[in-house]
A and B are shown apart, each in its own frame.
Chain A
């Protein structure tokens, strides 16, 4: 596609439920990142995928968070047993090559009530 597509754009969920956030990167982009932005805070790195290499999961805040990337394209970020502190905007970005400029999606605004 022309840009990075994220879905849903908004998600309201009850505390304790699981959620899945989807990112469809630009076709051919091998690098994919997930970041989150809490209200009034900076961007927090979550996870990085590069081609078929093992992902860098060093930014995932707890074992309730996981992500996968199928076929080197679409990525899904899963949050299990959501907590109110998980409320944030989750942003996905992709790049044709590590370190070569990044294109961000519009984000998914997650609200845990």
Chain B
């Protein structure tokens, strides 16, 4: 069974700082990896999708990388803002019919 781990579980940074969130998975035979953010009491908002053949994706201040061989992905957030405060989840689509979620990193950006 695929296991997905996210480190750190919680992170607090001052506004303007660059930061990195980590996601690791145990089985490298994945189809894709997707990063989401979840605001309190809300659903999941897709941030970036990386196909297994890709190494990174960028959207605005966000950059996600994927290293399948080592079972890792990172989400880089540049120049963090208070509006970035949320829980960030990575999800791995493996063989079978479901995607496996990490437990998330709770990010707080302090003004």
Contact = CB atoms under 8 A, between A and B. Distances in A.
Interface of A: 6, 33, 42-43, 45, 48, 50, 56, 58-59, 91, 93, 98-107, 109
Interface residues of B, number: 21
Nearest to B101: A43
Contacts of B97: 48, 50, 56, 58, 98
B76 interface: no
Nearest to A98: B97
Contact of B43 (A33, A45, A59, A105): A105
Interface stretch (B19-27, B34-42, B63-71, B77-85): B34-42
A82 B32 CA distance: 35
A104 to B, nearest CB: 4
B46 interface: yes
